[in-house]
Structure 1
Amino acid sequence: MQTIEETYDVVVSGGGLAGFSAAIAAARHGASVVLIQDRPVLGGNSSSEVRVTPHGAAAFHGYARETGIISEALIEDRATNHAIIRENGWTNSVWDLVLYDMAVRTPGLTLHLNTTAYDAEIDGDRIVAVHARVANAETELLIRGSVFIDCTGDGTVAALAGAESRTGEEAANEFDELHAPDTATSHTMGSSLHFKTIDTGAPIDFEAPKWAHRYDDQSFFTNGGRMIPTLESGYWWIEIGTPWDTLHDNETIRHELTRHVLGIWDYLKNRDPHWSPRAANLALDWVGQIPGKRESRRVLGEYLMTEHDLGAEDRFDDEIAYGGWYIDLHTIGGLLKEVAEPVTTARLMDPESSSGSTTYVGPFGVPLRTLIARDLSNLMMAGRNVSATHVALGSLRVMGTTALMGQAAGTAAALIGEVTDLRRQYSDIIGDVQQALLRDGCFLPHKKNEDPADLALRAVTSSSSTQSVHGVGPGSANWLGGIDHWRGYPVFPFRGELKRRVGQWVAVGAGQPISSLRMALHNHADADRVVAATVQLVDNIWDYRIDAGKPLAEGELLVSPGGPHWVDWQVDIDPISDSEVRFIRIDLHESPDVEWVVSSAVLPGQIAAYEDGGRYRRFGGGSTMSFQIEPAQAAYPASEVTSGVTRPHQSPNQWRSDPVFPLPQWLRLDWATPQSVCQVQLTFAGHLLREYHAYPPLYRDPQTVRDYAVEALVDGEWHEIVKVTGNIRTRVVHTFDAVQTSALRLMIYATNGDPSAGVYEIRCYADDICTENITQQ
């Protein structure tokens, strides 16, 4: 046995998406970093060993997909991966290698796979080093560091260092949480094991081993909410935890889950009256042997997130990430209980049900204090072991959210400098951390680009053309390029039937009035119907309040039988803002016989919602209702690229060229005096509307700019300083020899399919301050 000693600025334990993002972020910001991972692949539950595909806020909120490092990886995967994405069981080695490539090619990052941390050295309230063992190598590592980030999921390093943690369910009265049980327990959500099948093309037998669990009762599945959408792979509800401990009884749980996987497949293959005939040619192709764990320890931090933080409008001054998955609390006991996750079951069986509407939360901010351990001066955590109650973890634990927390932790660890006590020092750097995260492509709901070094914020913007919003109709062209709704979850509704209120967000240009609106409505009754309508000013695209204040207009629409008809409404609304693009919302109230026709197109940044449990909820997977507006609105001006926000939020925050004019089109920045520029960062449209699951194999988002150039105006002439062809990424950074210029111009020659060029942001710097995505080189 050999022992090797190593020293780093930042030591990250755990190579799931939280640890992966933390390690890359810290290294990109100049820290020497080591990533310790106890498996041979990166990605944790998302890897090909476990095969749970990453979820996040975009499953429930339009344009809420996570950006930053996780986005870089997911975009790369979809562009290069031949496999479709399903709910469980479909992750392949292409995804593993995307992560591995990003880690290996990141300067300053040392990767130790198959390496387990088993001890920690402590000096007072400070971690000095961790001891780790490399499997199959007869090697022990003594790894010293300045900052330690526990992304193990189980809080292993924190536990070894003596940090206090919570396990199990808090009682409802401890934090007044609606979804907590009356009595506290030690119970946690369970772990799942997945499988995948293959069509052999001919009948094939399956005989379960004697030790497999035996299933014979169809009602266990049909009445227990254990939905079987497909025989291709499955299923989240193959879950077991209590009475076993998900931490110390992990091997027992693995074996028990294997017994149940084989037993469930045996039943579906051989005895289920519906599925057995359909399974005749199917064979098991893969059965996981690493349980996908949902919950164990939660390390106590400087702030403990509770259920109230998931729905609060309050803003954290130290916001560094966001979430938006619902409060997903699995049935304690899983397969050993009669019903699996009653709330989700009710929604799956009846999508029109308002069951579970109280679990629908976000998007909400996550504070840095949740990632800073309370008991130790140099320990952070990211992932499902962060400082949160059991109920709050129900939303925080999904991998899109944990990846954002990881990137924030890694960025903070690198920027902290000389570490004496993270608990006292974080407030000194929080502004720098937030601006760094925004600069690195992340989104924060309550923060925007205020980087004093960004020269673009001082420039005057202009463009060759700008798309005006006239509206869209039932037959408008669809430029989504094949993305679909994620049908593994009850996306609802697909039709705009006014069985409940429906709202459509519309962007209104600065200083522009609205004279009239038109909606495409279909009356399925034999007589006229009247639909009550209102127009309200809303704060942002996630302003889900049914009543958002005094209406800007109110009226009634008369809809004759048949259709669809374009129904006119004279609203005569004065300009809302002289200086900003803002959102209004057209609300059509309940009228069960009338249908507001869904457009075949999605107007960028302008989508619909439906009423559910007293508030609005995203319509479908992100859809636009058929509407027209007069006069046409300048919703996508060039000035949006310096709004400081890189996605639709309080406005579309996007410049779009007029699709009537062919490419190339240009976007220009002018300064009153010449500037020295050596770096440009561009954020293009794409990969935001829907969740990763909606994107097909080998996908290149049509909205993303493909071929472009950056030009500088020098001595009255344009000089090309950057030329790119074949781009698929939404965030790109270009560093070049400094130029003195009074103007820069982005020339866009082609997109990946959209007739309009779309840009969310341009940043310009005199120094090479932006971190670069290594995969773009």
Structure 2
Amino acid sequence: MKKEQASAKRDLNKINLTADLVVAGGGLSGVCAAITAARQGIKVLLVQDRPVLGGNSSSEVRLWILGATSHMGNNNRWAREGGVIDEILVENTYKNPEGNPLILDMILLDKVTQEKNIQLLLNTAVFEVGKEADQIKSITAFCSQNSTLYQLQAPLFCDATGDGIVGFLAGAAFRMGAESKEEFDEGMAPTAEYGELLGHSLYFYSKDTGRPVKFTPPNFSLSDITEIPRFKQFNANDFGCKLWWVEYGGRLDTVHDTEKIKWELWKVVYGIWNHIKNSGDFPEAENLTLEWVGTIPGKRESRRFEGDYILTQKDLVQQRHHEDAVAFGGWSIDLHPADGVYSERPGCNQWHGKGIFEIPYRTLYSKNISNLFIAGRIISVSHVAFGATRVMATCAYIGQSIGMAAVLCKSESLHPREVLANGHIQQLQQKLSLNGQYIPGVPINDPLDLIPQSEITVSSTLHFKGFDRVDFWKTLTTPSAQLFPILKGEVPVFNVAVNATKPTTFKASLRISKRAGGFTPDLTLASREIEIQAGEQNINLDFGVNLLDSSYVFVVFEANEAIQLGFTEKRVTGILSVFNSINKAVSNFGKQMPPADAGVDEFEFWCPQRRPKGQNLAISLAKPQPVFDKSNLTNGIDRPVRQPNAWVADPTDASPSLIFEWDEAKTIKQIDLWFDADFDHPMESVLMGHPETVMPFCVRKYVVKDQSGKIVLAKKDNFQTHQRIILDEPIYTKKLIIEVEHPSELVPAAIFAVRCYSEIKL
């Protein structure tokens, strides 16, 4: 029994904690920052004001995770973010292909709690910052569940809270609302009529019970659904899951009016559901019940903090290069009318870029608080650029950059700005890249890697000659193309399997992207028109073109209902078919035609189809392209960019293997293997579902042996991009042998890179 006498004042329980880095905010940006830093050996305090991690991706909000891949609806090929967020998405696809948000909660909690260097504080809200001069010394937070105050001290702080509570209380310079068109010469800067802020959204789920269900609305629900112009978009078969446009609040203070906004959204959601159930307009909803309604809204926009650089529309559209790039984005510039559901305008105003854009390090720290990183959607961008950088996979990528920068800050006794000012940016880029964070234009060059010092022998190599097997035919109803990696020099003759239902004209062209490494086929090198007769036939296409540089080319076929093209079920790493089709989910209508003053490009969309579709066209090459050579293992690029960048075994090789041999025996403690978990697949985390749990290109089984043939490691059921092997005891050997299995009879084994080290290299 505990008994206390009456007291004039009682103090809350208080706990003081210290770390190398305090990360405030447990959304994906904060989670990826914390995991990245912790894996490099620094102590992290991760404080989250909610009971679960994941922010807008969590079961509390239930928005899918997306970034540069944009539902496969843009021209950003192989653009899924790497590193920690890739690891999370691949694991979620493996364990949770149905897109259950509760399972994603579990995966995120598991990822964080596995890291011994992270101390996690859930249900703990920051409300006070202690400062000296321009530095934060501590933050104070309160946990509602254990009635405890925490004072958290560290030399470095990262604000990943979404609203920027740490930066706000610390006095960091910030912006809120839209800049004028003139400030940054941004054609997409919104007018006052459109509004300066994006609102909040609230999701709901419905469920088919198999029998009729009645619904009686609460008194506060919206009584007249005709107030919502966009309601006609509802589809009962979506079970309420995709109504991202149930949005409100852009005319209010999206920080301090959040509770007011939430109540308005509840009013809308319950009003929508009442109309669905009781208006008679949706008989298909008779057996549906309301399974879940969000209790906190998903926020899009509030504060944006100023760094040493403000990223703007022109950085994105022009794909400007930044020497201090540490991440990339690729979502469209996606702005919403401030009036949300009550607006007569379309729910969003999306304009895509022709490719991914770089995010410079200078946008990731405060310009006036010397030890504060800014992460997630609050980074240093204009309102217009924010329309593209705000999505969760991009925010996660930003978090990884900050986590690794914090590691350098600790090891070199630096403040965030000094990573760049003191000449450490290339070191940061290399550390990020070695841990899976692809940065455009930054190849890996690691002097500690033993593999470039070895002689590499492979059991076989795929001498790529395209595809000559026809598994089925598809009518050419949509303009279609096959992406092929071609080395510089003469473009080979292409042989195309065609079936014509009547005599017709077969029209084809050879295109490339004007921008090296891009995937927008905006430059036509040559065109051919061939009169063909009815029936199955093979047609040679000789475009008579020489490439000045190695590049992906598009072999494009104009739509023609009288023609069928042959397709194959065979798939190969870095090879795709693409189509000039429509994806309304991301405002892709086949061709982007912006207003003249919008400041964005006009171009066509050429996108893959999702599996189980998306087969390759049956097109063979007269001359093999040696694009899958063993030299790709050490070229420093671990995904397809201008070429596939992978070693691929010959499909007929019964036992694919790689041998790395040195003149003198080497001590090996760590081995890093980089496989193909398909960076082109977006892996939406919830709602969407996926046709497979493991990407078809991923090597599932491999064995590592030393020079005597002794098995160092045998792995089954791999599904991840990156396998880091840290040996309990180092081996001393002149030879390292890696044996792999083909993922299937239709897909040959592929490896982007092998790296090994004498010591642990995290």
TM-score, normalisation: structure 2: 0.88
Q: CA deviation at 1:191?
A: 0.6
2:348 is the counterpart of 1:376: no
SS at match of 2:384: helix
Contact kept in structure 2, 1:80 and 1:698, CA below 8 Å: no
Report the secondary structure of 2:20's partner residue: strand
Change (3 A) 1:248 1:634: same
Give the stretch that moved more between structures: 281-290 or 557-566. Answer: 557-566
Matched, 1:408 2:393: no
**Residues 661, 532 of structure 1: CA spacing in aligned structure 2 closer, same or farther, 3 A cutoff?**
closer
Q: How far off its partner does 1:541 sit?
A: 5.2
Find the partner of 1:435 among 430, 433, 436: 430
CA apart distance, 1:283: 0.2
**Distance apart, 1:615 and its partner CA:** 3.0
Q: Deviation at 1:515?
A: 4.0
Give the 3 Å change call, closer, same or farther, for CA 536–738 of structure 1 in structure 2: same
Secondary structure at 1:173's aligned position in 2?
A: helix
CA drift of 1:563 comes to 5.6
Within 5 Å, which residues of 2 pair with 1:120-519?
120-182=129-191, 187-217=196-226, 220-221=229-230, 230-271=238-279, 273=281, 276-341=282-347, 343=349, 358-417=351-410, 419-427=413-421, 428-472=423-467, 475-476=470-471, 497=477, 503-508=481-486, 514-519=491-496
Q: Secondary structure in 1 aligned to 2:166?
A: helix
Aligned equivalents of 1:513, 1:154: Cα separation in 2:
55
Q: Distance in 1 between matches of 2:540 and 2:377?
A: 51
Cα separation, partners in 2 of 1:752 and 1:571, compared to 1, 3 Å:
closer
Structure 1 residues 425 and 516, CA, compared in 2 at 3 Å: closer, same or farther? closer
Indicate how the Cα distance of structure 1 residues 566 and 763 shifts in structure 2: closer, same or farther if over 3 A, else same: same
Counterpart AA for 1:507? P
Partner of 1:353: none
Note the 1:646-657 alignment, pairs <5 A.
646-657=638-649
State the distance in 2 between where 1:703 and 1:416 align. 38
Aligned to 2:520: 544
1:13 maps onto 2:24 in alignment = yes
Q: 2:59 aligns with which of 22, 38, 48?
A: 48
SS at match of 1:254: helix
One-letter amino acid matched to 1:568: N
Which letter does structure 2 place at the counterpart of 1:629? L
Structure 2: runs of 5 or more not aligned = 1-11, 581-589, 593-601
- The 1:767–1:2 alpha-carbon spacing in structure 2 relative to 1, beyond 3 Å, is same
Give me the whole-angstrom Cα distance separating, in 1, the residues matched to 2:103 and 2:492.
Answer: 53
Aligned to 1:2: 13
Amino acid at match of 1:390: H
Q: What residue is the counterpart of 2:541 in the other structure? A: 569
What is the alpha-carbon distance in structure 2 between the residues aligned to residue 678 and residue 318 of structure 1?
Answer: 32
Q: 1:184 to 1:162 in 2, by over 3 A?
A: farther
Q: Does 1:612 align with 2:591?
A: yes
SS in 1 for 2:752: strand
Q: Following the alignment from structure 1 to structure 2, what is the Cα–Cα distance between the partners of residues 96 and 753? A: 35
TM-score if structure 1 supplies the norm length?
0.86
Equivalent residue of 1:740, what SS? Answer: strand
The 3 A distance-change label for structure 1 pair 535 and 232 is closer
- Aligned partners of 1:390 and 1:537: how far apart in 2? 29
Partner of 2:596: none
User: Compared with structure 1, are the counterparts of its residues 218 and 521 closer, same or farther at alpha carbon in structure 2 (3 Å cutoff)?
Assistant: farther
Q: Distance in 2 between matches of 1:270 and 1:598?
A: 48
Residue number among 724, 729, 733 corresponding to 2:724 in the alignment: 733
The 1-side partners of 2:168 and 2:372 are apart by 11
Counterpart-to-counterpart distance in 1, 2:395 and 2:536:
45
Letter in 2 for 1:517: F
Partner Cα separation in structure 2 for residue 281 and residue 589 of structure 1: 45
| 1:460-511 Cα deviation digits (max 9, x unpaired) | 3331112232223684499xxxxxxxxxxxxxxx975466xx553212358x
Question: Where do 5+ consecutive residues of structure 1 fail to align?
Answer: 86-90, 344-355, 479-493, 771-777
Is contact 1:324–1:361 with CA below 8 Å preserved after alignment? no
Task: Give the Å deviation of 1:340.
Answer: 3.4
Separation in structure 2 between the aligned mates of residue 730 and residue 222 of structure 1, nearest angstrom: 41
3-state SS in 1 of match to 2:523: coil
1:724 aligns with 2:719: no
SS at match of 2:109: helix
- Among 678, 681, 690, the residue aligned to 2:672: 681
Query: How many Å separate the matches in 2 of 1:753 and 1:686?
Result: 17
Structure 1 stretch displaced more, 55-64 or 394-403: 55-64
Partner amino acid for 1:452? P
Q: In the alignment, is the contact (CA less than 8 A) between 1:170 and 1:184 conserved in 2?
A: no
**Structure 2 CA distance for aligned equivalents of residues 391 and 229 of structure 1:** 34
Could you tell me whether the CA contact under 8 Å between 1:204 and 1:280 is conserved in 2?
yes
- Residue identity over aligned pairs, in percent, reads 30
**CA deviations over 1:505-542 (Å, ceiling 9, x no partner):** 212358x8554112345667x65325252355876552
Q: Which amino acid aligns with 1:9?
A: D
Residue type of the partner of 1:248? H
Q: Which amino acid in the other structure matches residue 539 of structure 2?
A: V
Q: What amino acid is the match of 2:555?
A: I
Corresponding position of 1:75: 90
- Residue 8 of structure 2: aligned partner: none
- The residue type equivalent to 1:282 in the other structure is L
Instruction: Measure how far apart 1:159 and its partner are.
Output: 0.2
Relative to structure 1, the CA distance from residue 254 to residue 56 in structure 2 (aligned partners, 3 Å threshold; closer, same or farther) is: same
CA contact (8 A) 1:640 1:654 kept: yes
Query: Hey, what does 1:84 align to over in structure 2?
Result: 98
2:236 and 2:384 map into 1 onto residues whose CA distance is 27
1:268 partner SS: helix
CA contact (8 A) 1:327 1:361 kept: no
1:65-97, Cα deviation, whole Å (9 max, x unpaired): 11111111122222222x623xxxxx4221111
Deviation per residue, 1:195-220 (Å, 9 max, x gap):
11111111111121121002443982
* Amino acid across the alignment from 1:645: I
CA contact (8 A) 2:633 2:647 kept: yes
In structure 2, distance between residues paired with 1:534 and 1:748: 36
Deviation, 1:398, is 0.7
1:658 maps onto 2:634 in alignment: no
Which AA in structure 2 matches 1:675? K
Contact 1:523/1:559 (8 A) holds in 2: no
Following the alignment from structure 2 to structure 1, what is the Cα–Cα distance between the partners of residues 469 and 390?
Answer: 39
Q: Secondary structure at the match of 2:268?
A: helix
1:584 and 2:557 equivalent? no
Residues 213-255 of structure 1 deviation map (CA, whole Å, 9 limit, x = unaligned):
02443982366x6677623524101111133221101111111
Aligned 8 A contact 1:215 1:264 in 2:
no
Q: Which SS does the other structure have where 2:34 is aligned?
A: helix
For the 8 Å contact 1:240–1:253, the answer to whether it is kept is yes
Q: Distance in 1 between matches of 2:528 and 2:382?
A: 47
Between the aligned partners of 1:751 and 1:592, the Cα distance in structure 2 is 36
Residues 597 and 96 (structure 1), Cα distance of their counterparts in 2 relative to 1, 3 Å cut: same
| CA distance in 2 between partners of 1:576 and 1:655 (Å) | 23
Separation in structure 2 between the aligned mates of residue 219 and residue 161 of structure 1, nearest angstrom = 40
Residue by residue, what CA displacement relative to the aligned partner does 1:566-607 show, whole Å, maximum 9, x if unpaired? Answer: 321234666867xxx643333446878767666555543122
User: What residue is the counterpart of 1:533 in the other structure?
Assistant: 509
* Alpha-carbon distance change, 8 to 563 in structure 1, aligned in 2, over 3 angstroms: farther
Q: 1:595 to 1:219 in 2, by over 3 A?
A: farther
Count of equivalent residues: 718
- Give the Cα separation in 2 of the matches to 1:125 and 1:440: 32
C-alpha displacement of 1:329: 0.8
Inter-CA distance 673–293: structure 2 relative to 1 (3 Å threshold) = same
Answer yes or no: is the 8 Å Cα contact 2:408–2:414 preserved in 1: no
- Find the residue that maps to 1:721 and give its secondary structure: strand
Q: Which range moved further: 678-687 or 174-183?
A: 174-183
Per-residue deviation, residues 350-406 of structure 1 (Å, max 9, x unmatched): xxxxxx5x4345311111111011111110111011111111111101111000000
- Code of the aligned partner of 2:706: A
Q: Which residue of 2 aligns with 1:773?
A: none
Deviation of 1:687 (Å): 3.5
Q: 1:515 to 1:68 in 2, by over 3 A?
A: closer
Q: Is contact 1:2–1:140 with CA below 8 Å preserved after alignment? A: yes
